[in-house]
Structure 1
Amino acid sequence: MDAFSMMLYCSTLVVALLLSQARGFLHPSEEGDSVPEEWVLLHVVQGHIGAGNYSYLRLNHDGRIILHMRSLKGDADLYVSDKTLRPSYDTYKLQSATCGQDVLVVPGDFVRPVGIGIYGHPSYLESEFEMRVFYDQMVPQDPFHKGSYSYPTEDAQGHQKFPQSSEEDFQEEESIFWTILIGLLKIILEILF
C-alpha cells in the first residue's frame, strides 16, 4: 500500500468516526430529545411555512438561548441575526440548514431583540416545524453587562470567597471544537469527493 492510499484510508476512517460523533452530538436521542437539566424550556413554537417563504419570530429574552427546531414535514431552515429582525439566507449571523433537526445557540451578548427567520425549503410545497426555545441558566452573567458584577463575599471566618466559574468554559471550548471539527470535515469531504 503506497503512502497516498494509506493517507486516503486513514482519512476515510477519521471522517467516519467524526461523522458518527457529530451525528450523536446533533441528534442526541430520537426518543426523548433529552436536554441538560440546566436548560429551561421557554417556548414551543409550531408552524407551517410554504416553499421559498419565511416566517419571522422575535427573541427578547436575555442570556444564552438554544433553539432546537425539528422539521416534522418537508424541510425548514433556521436563520438568526441581532442586526435585523428579518434574517434570510442573505443577511444572517447564525444559520442551520440541515435536512433534519436544526440547532442554534444564540449567545448572551447578542443585542436584543434577536430576529429569527424560518425558511421553507423550495424542494417541498410546505414544511411543518416545531421549535423549542431553551434558556441556559448555568451561563454566568457577563460582569460588564448591565452592571451585574458579582463581588467576592466573605465566609464565617472572614475569608473572601470569589464566585466559582461553572462548566461554561468547558462547554464553550466544546462548541468551538465542534465548529472547527465540522469545518475540517467539510474540507476533507470536498478533497475526497
Structure 2
Amino acid sequence: MIGYLSTSEALLDYCNQNDIRGIFYFRNCTSPNSKIKGLMAKGNHAFGFHAENTRTTETFQSELSSMKKSVPNGMLHSFTKHGSGKLKLGKNHYPPYEPEKYKEWVQTMGVPFYFGNEVVEEMDDFSPVDGFYPKMFWLKKEYRIESFATIEDVISAAKTETVPIIIHPANFVADTFVNSELKRLVDLSKENNIDWITEMS
C-alpha cells in the first residue's frame, strides 16, 4: 500500500480537531486521494499547488493542469515552489528558486503566488510586497534565524500582522520538536485569541 499521504492525513486530523484552517500544497506525485479530499472539506481547508518543474512556462503549465484535475472543481488557492533552490529533490524537480519569474506567471496562469521560501529574520519581514510574502516562519528548527526563532515571537507578531507558518506533514509525524512546536503555537494562539486564516488580502 502506498502511504505517502498518511502524514497529510495525520496533520489534517489534528487541524480539524483544533479548528485550524490551512492551505495544503500538493505536488502531482502526492496528489490528494478521496480520504484527503474528505478531510480537507471537513476542515474547510484550501488546496494549493507545490510546483516542481518550473524550468519554463510550458513545464509549469503542464504540472498545473495536472494538479487542477486532482482537486475539486479544479480550484487552487495559490502555488508555491518546491525545494530550497539548491538541491534536486526528485526526477521532475527543477531546483532553482526564481520568485520574480513566478510572479510574472500569475498574470497568465490565473493562480496566485503568495508565499516565498525565505526565512523570517525580524517582525518587519511579515509586511507583504504587492501581496507577496517573501519569507515565512518555519516550524522546523533548522530553518530559523536566532533573531526571530521562538513561538513567542510568532504570537507577538500575529497580534498585528499576518504571519505565514510553514510545516511539512512528514515533520509533524516524524519530528517531535516540530510536532510539539505546532501544538504549543495552537495553544498560545487560542490563549491570545489569534485566528488562523486562509484568506489573503
TM-score normalised over the length of structure 1: 0.23
The structure whose residues are more often helix, as a share, is: 2
Q: TM-score, normalised by structure 2?
A: 0.23
Highest RCO, 1 vs 2 (Cα 8 Å, sep ≥ 6): 1
Larger radius of gyration: 1
